[in-house]
Amino acid sequence: MVGQTVSHYQITDRLGQGGMGVVYKAHDTRLDRTIALKFLPPHLSTDDQAKARFMQEARAASKLDHPNICTIHDIGETDDGRLFIAMACYDGETLKKKIERGPLPVEQAIDMAVQIAHGLSRAHEAGIVHRDIKPANVMVTDRDEVKILDFGLAKLAGTVDLTKTGSRVGTAAYMSPEQARGEAVDARTDLWSLGVVLYEMLTGQRPFEGDYEQAVVYSILNEDPEPVTVLRSEVPAALERVVEKLLRKNSTERYRHAYVLLADLQAIKTGSDVSAKQEGRSSIAVLPFENMSGDPEQEYFCDGLAEELTNVLTKLNNLRVVARTSAFAFKGQHVDIRKIGRKLGVETVLEGSVRKAGNRLRITVQLVNVTDGYHLWSERYDRELEDVFAIQDEISLAIVDKLKIELLGTEKAALVKRHTENVEAYHLYLKGRYFWNRRTEKTLKKAVSYFEQAIEVDPRYALAHVGIADYYIMLGIWGLIPAPEASAKVETAATKALEIDHALAEAHTSLAFWNFIFNWDWSATERGFKQALDLHSGYMQAHNLSHAYGIYLTLTGRFDEAITELKRVLELDPLSLTKNSFLGMALCYARRSREAADVLSKTLEMDPNYWPAHFFLGITRASEARYEEAFPALQKVVALTEEVPLMIGHLGCVYAIAGRREKALEMLGRLRTLSKERYVSPLCSALIHVGLGEKDQALADLESARRKGVPFMVHMRVTPLLDSLRSDPTFTALMSKVRGRA
């Protein structure tokens, strides 16, 4: 076909041929660019199934928009009925050709694997499994950028498999065991294949060899490959563990998600050994305890008891504990324990009930094996209210015993550590956290009242001081009080907590946030987060801090790191509205709007009234110029937050950008009225003036907000709503000062 013209594509050269098509280089005469054309082979042109699979490749790949996936431009059909796909043509070579010259440098192999994992993560999020990951299907450009090619064997989740039952699709040497057996496959098959590719990049040879296809399949199903370090001693032990986990024959023992693998590879690049920490850990979810007292006022105690047990268990390195938010998503639902376990990805579940009458407690707990639904252990405690701390210790130690977890001395001390011995202060603190977790302006005010009462009862209750610091952090971020007032309150409360307990990671985290949003001191922030992480022995606690760190990475423009960090956090807290929303924020600010909208829409399916998800969805839709979808999202935010001025400013900004000048001016008027009743930061009006194109006034208001230390200014560094100002030198200079007070 060289020399022919198909549609507006002039074919100039033949690039190669695979099982599902012939590929040519061509010139796009309409857009004056070089592209690649892939044609269905002539002898398959009458095969309806092959045509359907070819169309499936186009549809699957065209839905993916990612720098590590080959871009699909067009699909068409020749006059004689041959289908073709027009796709990007890259200068470079396949990974297969690179490996043929010998093993890759370890750092380069890791980098290639990271890029492939990035692409697969995006495909798997869209429900697409490649099913033929191999070096020949990975292009490496002249700039060392990886592009995954050929989704011709892709299987869209939920669609009919185009292959015959029991047949194999893929390339034998890279097939997973389940693929080799002709069984149904999922994302873990692609991760197995990536494991084979990574093994080959590191050693120069495949892990499973044979003189003919059946011999290779036998090796895949029955033999273990030579350890990577035997063939190449300089490969880090942590990387060998990653390869070993990727190549486990039982798919349930492999990585479940590409982004978890990605997090481990990134950790190895930075020198930390995350994979070693993940091996050999049991897993548990602590469900909210049922209130059997008949008194709704006791809900705080039931929730608090489960939350405290969760917090205690997270201090154990060898136990993976699902976060409170995901476990509490099942509160009030009568769902089979086995289904909950599968949803949360844990082996065991702790459930219980509390009956409180006067000063007497009856606490019943059961530890359940998710696989079969049988009890591993159960106990009933009939005690006085003052015994609640001892009961918590007994339950925690019983769980450790039943799950056969070996405790280090420091872990046992952490397991029974108490931040107060005063039962009244403890109950007040639980009430504070109960209202804190509802995260509205009204419930936050209730929460801080209880934290203050807890301190009156026990002035040395460090966690209650942290609660007050966190309250003022939220007021500062939302712009509900002037920044200097919020900043002083946060510093005082967090410092007091550290005076009481210098090893309290929660207090170090609050101070890190204080340095970030009030002082704009990046280096102090990073040190604070790392200090907090060092103080946490528990895996889940470290991940909770990683959530805060992920927000920091997002707002400092380190988007790839932030998205990796936040996805990794969601592995242990998949149903968290907050953490899903902040992943959506990171994707939105990274200008990955399609992915952001998908994450945020799924978050709103869990709770249609969760305003942060509406907020970031509104900004995402505005960045796509889909204003008729942005307006209702931001209008709902204003209603749900009861007219927080900052939210009115964002709505007015989007009205203005969309050309709805009268509505934007209406929002400015609303801010002026509100300023007579409450604090309104100059950032609110700045946003609207940006949208109206009133640059001088916008810059003046932004400068005023900077001088006043408005915490939300950190968002202005990355939000797409201010993209119209990014080329302005005055704006650039102003934003450079939002990094250490100038």
Q: Are 123 and 69 in contact (CB under 8 A)?
A: yes
Annotated catalytic residue within 32, 65, 80, 132: 132
**What SS3 class is residue 126?**
coil
Rounded CA separation 283/571 (Å): 12
Adjacent-strand bridge partners of 351: 366
Count of residues making up the chain: 742
What Cα–Cα distance (Å) separates residue 323 from each residue in 288, 307, 313, 536? 12, 9, 11, 15
Q: Are 486 and 521 in contact (CB under 8 A)?
A: no
Helices and strands of the chain, counted as H and E runs: 33, 17
Active site residue 132: yes
Q: Are 44 and 18 in contact (CB under 8 A)?
A: no
Strands 9-18 and 5-6: antiparallel
Going by the DSSP 8-state scheme, the letter that residue 374 receives in this structure is -
Rounded CA separation 574/75 (Å): 37
Q: Are 368 and 337 in contact (CB under 8 A)?
A: yes
What Cα–Cα distance (Å) separates residue 634 from each residue in 614, 620, 628, 722? 7, 11, 11, 17
Tokens of 534: 């060092």
Q: Give the amino acid at 721.
A: L
Nearest Cα neighbor of 297 from 193, 394, 205, 435 is 435
Residue 736 CB-density burial (10 A; 0-12 exposed, 13-18 middle, 19+ buried): exposed
Q: Are 429 and 454 in contact (CB under 8 A)?
A: yes
Q: Are 399 and 284 in contact (CB under 8 A)?
A: yes
Going by the DSSP 8-state scheme, the letter that residue 80 receives in this structure is T
Place of tokens 């405690």: 381
**What SS3 class is residue 201?**
helix
Residue 340 main-chain phi, psi, to 5 deg: -60, -45
Half-sphere exposure of 296 (CA within 13 A, CB side): 1
Catalytic residues: 132
